[in-house]
Amino acid sequence: MRLLIATTNPDKLREIRGLLQHLPVEVLSLRDFAAVEEPDESGTTFEENARLKAFYYDAAVAHPTALVQCGPLLTVAEDSGLVVDALDGEPGVRSARYLRPDASYPERFAEIQRRLATRPSAPRTARFVCAVAVVQAGMLVYEATGVVEGEIAPAARGTHGFGYDPVFYYPPYEQTLGETTEEEKQRVAHRGRAFRKLAEWLEKCRTENKGLSSVL
């Protein structure tokens, strides 16, 4: 089973490999193929952007590669980010480009805290969302979403994880996701939840030999 994970982000790829390591799959990334331009992530929801990226990279990378190598690929794309209720859902689908594409995460943390400070009575509730879409030969064959609920911490804490993890406080752990271990994070985090659903679907397809027999 060959999966193209449509990302060049090494942190995301490391997490995803760990979540799928129990399956008999070969996990590839965009770095394993000739570079192509990134698609315009014009969707207004995480689900729309995940589908958009999956269809784009299936057509631009996976399908041509499969024709050459005589082995089809499943293209797996995800879109994820932080949703802050008091900021009307921002940064949302713009999480990776919040403020500007080259902004550092400490800069983004500071902007979120600055904006929340202007709304002191508003709740600091927030959530991480991850949407996954799987495309094979131009067809959408699977979708899943994972969500974890939490709050924006008063200040960034922890050096683990990446992205917005240090400002995302998870009440059951009484820690930010930047303070948890990798194993603790993956038990509850949005990407872990979404990709465990994908793993269950892949295993079901493999054992039942349904629908994706040419791949599985």
Catalytic-role residue among 11, 40, 58, 79: 79
Residue 58 sits in a domain of what CATH number?
A: 3.90.950.10
Q: Structural domain tally of the chain?
A: 1
| pLDDT for residue 155 | 97
What pLDDT score does 213 carry? Answer: 46
Portion of the chain with pLDDT greater than 90, in percent:
79
pLDDT score at 71: 53
* Domain range for 53: 2-208
pLDDT class for 70, splitting at 50, 70, 90?
very low
Give one DSSP letter per residue of 34-52, joined into a string. Answer: ---PPP----SSHHHHHHH
pLDDT, residue 207, reads 81
What average pLDDT does range 27-45 have in this prediction? 93
| Residue 193 reports pLDDT greater than 50 | yes
**Residue 94 forms part of a structural domain:** yes
Asked, for residue 123, whether it belongs to a domain, the answer is yes
Write down the pTM of the prediction: 0.90
- Judge whether 148 lies within some domain: yes
**Stretch 134-159: mean pLDDT, rounded?**
97
Q: What is the mean pLDDT of residues 202-212?
A: 74
Segment (H or E) for 115: helix 105-117
The answer to whether residue 9 is domain-embedded is: yes
Q: Is residue 213 part of a domain?
A: no
216 domain-assigned: no
Mean pLDDT calculated for residue range 93-108:
96
In the predicted structure, residue 212 carries a pLDDT above the cut 80: no
Long-range contacts of 5-11 (CB under 8 A, 24+ apart): 5/29, 5/30, 5/76, 6/30, 6/53, 6/54, 6/57, 6/61, 6/75, 6/76, 6/77, 6/78, 7/77, 7/78, 11/162, 11/163
User: Would you say how long the chain is, in residues?
Assistant: 216
Decide if pLDDT at 187 tops 90. Answer: yes
Instruction: Give start and end residues of each alpha helix (H) in 26-104.
Output: 46-57, 63-69
165 is catalytic: no
Specify if 118 maps to a domain: yes
